[in-house]
Structure 1
């Protein structure tokens, strides 16, 4: 299958997933579908293309920006990187939506958080933390 076709399929799958997440965020089934279906598909597709993309890279690493650029020198590795973003942003969006439902956050307050997470990842998560903090008058607590 051509890389552009795979790019279109995974991008469309992610967009449909985000729409389902917003519409059905209070339904347990949507999390099962997205976690056990979509994220598994994205993860396996990522694995396939990252193996193809990085196996041919002679240089590269994580020690400098130039080394990272070298890792993504092939179209297969670049596609894998895109799928990585799609999968992790969707996972974060699922966490946001589930937490918003538990804290009784209005769906329309959730929308900008999900849109920003879909488009700008960490900016959407930060926006959610701010909105959630204002609504609940608390800070997200972790046990790390």
Structure 2
């Protein structure tokens, strides 16, 4: 198995590039297409490759039986570096998709780009907290209208 560090770096830079477009060029006509069509697709391809590679690996002895239906199974799964990186790329891709959702729905609701910036930051760093912040902001703006 080749080193996972280059894939980690590639995935991180791709995701950060997508976030930079959302934050710095939100009104550029190609932002959505580049973020979705390049960044998210590339992350999806990296994730797919890692998932296949992780499924081919044997679990470490004594780590328990990997699986999705118990905490012990998830912990055993994430002890495999390839599976852990796949999970990380999964998070990067889905958080970026949430960023696209926030941008799109924020524009529809008439929310200022500046007001969305904290939601982007929270989504980048803490995923669901950013989405919750956006949903609360959208609700608040709807009340004020």
What secondary structure, in the 3-state scheme, does the structure 2 residue paired with 1:137 have? helix
**1:142 alignment counterpart:** none
Does residue 112 in structure 1 map to residue 113 in structure 2? Answer: no
CA displacement, residues 67-105 of structure 1 (integer Å, 9 cap, x when unaligned): 011112211111111000000000011000111112221
CA RMSD of aligned residues (A): 1.5
- Aligned counterpart in structure 1 of residue 108 of structure 2, from 102, 122, 125: 102
- Aligned counterpart in structure 2 of residue 136 of structure 1, from 112, 127, 142: 142
CA displacement, residues 40-79 of structure 1 (integer Å, 9 cap, x when unaligned): 1100110101111122245311121110111122111111
Q: CA deviation at 1:108?
A: 1.3
TM-score computed with the length of structure 1 as normaliser: 0.89
Aligned residues: 138
Where do 1:71-110 residues align within 5 Å? Answer: 71-110=77-116
Q: Which runs of 5 or more structure 2 residues have no equivalent in the other structure?
A: 60-64
**2:62 alignment counterpart:** none
Q: Distance in 1 between matches of 2:36 and 2:83?
A: 24
Q: Distance in 1 between matches of 2:54 and 2:80?
A: 6
What secondary structure, in the 3-state scheme, does the structure 1 residue paired with 2:30 have? helix
TM-score computed with the length of structure 2 as normaliser: 0.88
Asked if 1 retains the 8 angstrom alpha-carbon contact of 2:14 and 2:43, the reply is no
